[in-house]
């Protein structure tokens, strides 16, 4: 059965949509098939063209149920559900159906306050530092803040995703032919962390062919369902 990963949190702008797409792209880069599920009524669906994953539109309650059922029926796939923010009821529902829950947060007091509340509300969830500074002294300051406020949750904080201006490429309707290497590496790194948590191994013989579109199409085309039928 497929695994469902939900990216939630009761605050907008923390990086939920970015993290969801990075994770899906990263899954594709390590040879795993995934679907990025949109639930945010304020966002437009993105074209799967050029991505290493499918996209699904689940902006209504009924379509979410259908999309989740469909994904569950796909052997060895991963469904990554991008939550909307400011929707506690929806977050609780997604938490209930997820195999793994991620809570992105940035290096700000407001984000940290919110993520603490979410970590308390969702005891199985992991927090993901997003838009993390790579500059040495800023990074040190961010780490200090985390050590101070998030000490009780230390084991539930994943490796950070650095600030990458290229990350917005993933949120464009259409992807460019090739992604910048630092972004591809960050996507892959995130996928590795999540696969570790889910105890899913990566086939050792999988050879990543960056930018090879025939390779990209193959795993998706080989599946029984067409992209359109995932879009309930």
Ligand X SMILES: Nc1ncnc2c1ncn2[C@@H]1O[C@H](COP(=O)(O)OP(=O)(O)O)[C@@H](O)[C@H]1O
Residues contributing to the site for ligand X (CB under 6 A): 12-18, 85, 130-131, 161, 163-165, 167-168
Alpha helices in 54-135 (DSSP H): 61-72, 88-97, 109-121
17 versus 70: smaller Cβ distance to ligand X: 17
Contact between 78 and 102 under an 8 Å Cβ cutoff? The reply is no
- The Cα–Cα gap between 124 and 101 comes to 7
Q: Is 39 in the site for Mg ion (CB under 5 A)?
A: no
Angle at 113 between CA 40 and CA 166, to 5 degrees: 50
**Nearer Cβ to ligand X (58/74):** 58
CB of 138 to ligand X, least distance (A): 13
Tokens describing residue 134: 């790579």
Which residues from 49-78 bind Mg ion, rule CB under 5 A?
Answer: none
Could you tell which of ligand X, Mg ion, none binds residue 219, using a CB distance below 5 to 8 A set by kind? none
Nearer to ligand X, 41 or 165 (CB): 165
State the nearest-atom distance from the C-beta of 165 to ligand X, in Å: 6
**Least distance in angstroms from the C-beta of 61 to ligand X:** 20
Q: Per CB under 5 A, which of residues 2..21 are in contact with Mg ion?
A: 16-17
The residue (of 7 and 146) whose beta carbon lies closer to Mg ion is: 7
Query: Considering CB distances under 5 to 8 angstroms, the limit depending on partner class, which of ligand X, Mg ion, none binds residue 41?
Result: none
Q: Which residues contact 42 (CB under 8 A, 6 or more apart)?
A: 84
Residue with tokens 């603490």: 116
Dihedral sign of CA atoms 212, 213, 215, 216 in order: positive
Q: How far is the CB of 224 from ligand X (least distance, A)?
A: 31
Cβ neighbour number for residue 187 with a 10 Å cutoff: 26
Given a contact cutoff of 8 angstroms between Cβ atoms, the answer to whether 121 and 97 are in contact is no
Sheet containing 3-7: which strands, arranged edge to edge? 54-57, 34-38, 78-82, 3-7, 100-105, 126-129
Least distance to ligand X, CB of residue 58, Å: 15
By Cβ distance, which residue is nearest to Mg ion?
A: 17
Per CB under 5 A, does 106 bind Mg ion? no
Give whichever of 43 and 139 is closer to Mg ion, judged by the CB atom: 43
Q: Which does 13 bind (CB under 5 to 8 A by kind): Mg ion, ligand X, none?
A: ligand X
- For residues 74 and 161, which CB has a smaller minimum distance to Mg ion in the complex? 161
Mind giving me the DSSP string for 20-68? HHHHHHHHHHTT--EEEEE--TTSPPPP-TTSSSEEEE--SHHHHHHHH
For binding to Mg ion (CB under 5 A), which residues are involved? 16-17
């Amino acid at each position: 059965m497929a695994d469902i990963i939900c990216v939630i949190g009761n605050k907008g702008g923390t990086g939920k949509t970015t993290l969801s797409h990075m994770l899906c792209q990263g899954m594709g880069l390590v040879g795993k098939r995934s679907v990025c599920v949109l639930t945010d009524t304020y966002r437009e669906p993105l074209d799967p063209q050029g991505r290493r994953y499918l996209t699904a539109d689940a902006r209504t309650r009924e379509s979410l149920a259908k999309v989740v059922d469909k994904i569950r029926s796909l052997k060895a796939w991963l469904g990554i559900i991008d939550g909307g923010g400011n929707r506690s009821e929806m977050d609780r529902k997604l938490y209930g159906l997820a195999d793994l829950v991620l809570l992105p947060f940035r290096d700000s007091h407001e984000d940290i306050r919110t993520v603490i509340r979410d970590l308390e509300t969702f005891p199985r969830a992991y927090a993901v530092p997003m838009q993390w500074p790579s500059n040495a002294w800023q990074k040190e300051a961010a780490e200090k803040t985390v050590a101070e406020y998030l000490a009780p949750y230390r084991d539930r904080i994943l490796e950070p995703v650095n600030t990458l201006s290229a990350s917005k490429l993933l949120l464009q309707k259409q992807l460019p032919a090739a992604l910048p290497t630092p972004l591809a590496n960050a996507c892959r790194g995130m996928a590795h962390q999540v696969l570790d948590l889910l105890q899913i191994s990566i086939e050792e013989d999988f050879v990543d062919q960056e930018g090879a579109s025939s390779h990209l199409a193959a795993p998706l085309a080989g599946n029984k369902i067409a992209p359109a039928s995932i879009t309930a």
